[in-house]
A = this chain, B = another copy of it.
Amino acid sequence: MAKVKISDVAREAGVSLGTVSNALNHPEKLRPETLKLINETISRLGYLPNQSARQLAGGATKSFGLVLPRLDHGFSLQIASGAHNEARKHGYDLLIANADNDDILEDHYLRYFMGTQMSGVMVQPMASPDWHPAMTKMPVPIVHLDIHCSEPGYYVAADNEAQGRIIAELAIARGAHHIVVVGRAAFMQLTLRVLGIHKALALHPDIKIEVIDAGEWNTAADGYGIGAQIAERPADERPDFVVGLTDVLASGVVSALVDKGISVPGQVRVAGCDGNPLAWSGSVPLTTVAPPGYEIGRKGVQLLMEQIENKAPAKIKHVRVGSAVRTVTAVAAEDINRQELVRPFLLERASTQASSQTDATAINLGAYL
């Protein structure tokens, strides 16, 4: 348990303190034999550099922090995955903290990361775009993900309003007359989706629209509850199109409808939002509008790198990814055999998942539409 430090290594190897430090940080400065000797001593003694001391002495280390609202949300994971790969590409570590849907905790981890001399920090904020004002003048580069903010600062956001519009257009293209939107718009992102839906539908006053709150957490169980409620309505009050503000909600709705003997998509069509892996890699794929989470994470790191390399004080810089209205209406317009469309896409997505994804908001035509 006795911690061995750099001076122990130095003494044991018969060199000086600074030489060992160089072996760690600037190996090219050392004579190969010295380096070898030191490395051997290090592993013999089981020396482990004290990161705190390194950071304190040397300024920022090459690592980024990422604060996510929740880990069991597929979209956040895509962000994490994109950020991870991009960070590694630049030789940076990525540490992830789970704010667990708690703004206090979010703030806590944010401060923690800023105080840890991370090279940069990213957040996928939960609710408010006016994040703690103090955060903007932080000593560490920070990038906000998946949120559009008016304050100066860096952010990468998917166009959530566009996603709502896309879904609505899809519904229109499918000839919907009565749309039910399921979910609580507790987060800005969801609010924007609802807004997009309303805007798109403003041009179609004949289409009836209804928004049903599904409870605080937007869980599959919540979706199931709403689905069951819809199923019990008389046929003429029943919608012909249901939009889950979240894929999890949507799949809950599907489960309930099917259980209650309502045919999907025969009697009711269902679509979700999120591009949650469960939507397309589950046994039966669900149609969903997919914001490019992977790409958001990647761009976030890129913005961080940019700030680091320029060393310039943060200018206002926004990146907006994915506005694939064209792609989508194109797809929706074509009346392709569903089978053909879905599976290849599923396979492609599954196999390229680890490498990279496109910029575009993609749509996965599933079995329930």
Contacts and interface: CB of A to CB of B under 8 A. Distances in A.
A3 interface: yes
A21 to B, nearest CB: 14
Contact of A254 (B219, B251, B277, B283): B283
A221 B346 contact: yes
A354 B72 CA distance: 10
Contact of A219 (B81, B84, B351): B351
A247 B222 CA distance: 23
B93 A96 contact: no
Interface string A31-50: 00000000000010010111
Interface string A76-119: 01001100110010000111111010000100110110111100
Contacts of A248: 281
Nearest to A102: B88
A2 B3 CA distance: 34
Interface string A276-318: 0110011111100000000000000000000000000100000
Counting chain B CB atoms within 10 Å of each CB, the highest count among A96, A109, A111 belongs to A96
A112 B96 contact: no
A111 B93 CA distance: 12
Contacts of A134: 43, 46
Contacts of A346: 220-221, 224, 255
A259 interface: yes
Given A224-B350, A255-B284, 15 more contacts: A50-B56, A51-B112, A56-B56, A71-B81, A72-B74, A72-B353, A85-B100, A88-B100, A96-B98, A219-B353, A255-B283, A258-B284, A259-B339, A283-B283, A284-B284
Interface string A48-69: 1111111110000001000000
A274 to B, nearest CB: 13
A105 to B, nearest CB: 8
A101 to B, nearest CB: 9
B343 A138 contact: no
28 contacts: A2-B139, A46-B134, A48-B111, A48-B114, A48-B115, A50-B56, A50-B115, A51-B52, A51-B112, A51-B117, A52-B53, A71-B80, A71-B84, A81-B98, A88-B105, A93-B97, A93-B109, A93-B112, A94-B98, A95-B95, A95-B97, A96-B96, A219-B350, A221-B346, A251-B282, A255-B283, A258-B284, A278-B281
A231 to B, nearest CB: 13
A84 B98 CA distance: 8
Interface in A342-369: 343, 346-347, 350-351, 353-354, 368
A154 to B, nearest CB: 14
A350 B48 contact: no
A107 to B, nearest CB: 12
Counting chain B CB atoms within 10 Å of each CB, the highest count among A85, A258, A343 belongs to A343
